[in-house]
């Protein structure tokens, strides 16, 4: 009788152990399959991004930066409101939520700010070398695109 109980206990233990192993192995396969189904051609890697900075700037209507250039690159976009940016000697670019972000290469002299009649919350991403060179204020005629 004791031998029979021990055999049943061993069998029960073996079944429970196999069920746990099956759940773990089955769970791993479905988790892996789920993660792989989010990308085609392999998972993307995450290169070092310690040289990147992201921030929000709010410019009130009519406010703008001085002319300046960055040692690294800059990407700006409007999150709220309406903004504008301009590379020296080029046309003004309007910044609106959902519109195309604007890329400025290192060393390019430019300004950015709000529309004359509306504030802007500007998303700013900078990378590469840090630092900026600041120049004169943007004149009212440059700001108006004249």
Q: What is the pLDDT of residue 26?
A: 52
Q: What is the pLDDT of residue 77?
A: 98
For residues 76 and 102, give the distance between their C-alpha atoms in angstroms, rounded to a whole number: 5
Map residue 120 onto helix, strand or coil. Answer: strand
Q: What is the pLDDT of residue 132?
A: 96
| 94, β-bridge pairs | 84
E strands, the chain, in order:
53-59, 68-70, 73-81, 83-87, 92-95, 102-104, 110-114, 120-127, 132-134
Mark the ranges of the chain whose per-residue pLDDT is less than 50.
Answer: 5-7, 9-17, 19, 22-24, 27-35
Q: What is the pLDDT of residue 28?
A: 46
Q: What is the pLDDT of residue 11?
A: 47
Instruction: Supply the DSSP symbol for 66.
Output: P
Q: What is the pLDDT of residue 38?
A: 85
Q: What is the pLDDT of residue 42?
A: 85
Q: What is the pLDDT of residue 73?
A: 97
Q: What is the pLDDT of residue 43?
A: 86
Q: What is the pLDDT of residue 16?
A: 45
Question: Do the strands 68-70 and 53-59 form a parallel or antiparallel pair, or are they unpaired?
Answer: unpaired
φ, ψ dihedrals at 145, nearest 5°: 80, 30
Q: Which tokens hold the place of 78?
A: 């409007």
φ, ψ dihedrals at 108, nearest 5°: -90, 125
Listed in sequence order, the residues at least 6 apart from 106 whose beta carbon sits closer than 8 Å to its beta carbon are: 69, 70, 71, 72, 73, 128, 129
């Amino acid at each position: 009788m004791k031998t029979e109980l021990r055999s049943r206990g061993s069998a029960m233990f073996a079944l429970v152990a196999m069920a746990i192993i099956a759940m773990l192995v089955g769970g791993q396969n479905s988790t892996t399959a789920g993660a792989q189904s989010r990308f085609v051609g392999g998972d993307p890697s995450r290169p070092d991004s310690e040289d990147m900075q992201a921030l929000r700037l709010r410019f009130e209507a009519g406010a703008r930066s001085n002319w300046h250039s960055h040692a690294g690159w800059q990407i700006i976009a409007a999150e709220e409101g309406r903004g504008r940016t301009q590379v020296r000697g080029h046309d003004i670019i309007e910044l609106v939520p959902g519109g195309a972000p604007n890329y400025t290469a290192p060393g390019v002299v430019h300004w950015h700010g709000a529309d004359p009649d509306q504030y802007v919350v500007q998303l700013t991403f900078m990378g590469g070398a840090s630092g900026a060179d600041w120049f004169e204020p943007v004149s009212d005629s440059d700001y108006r695109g004249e």
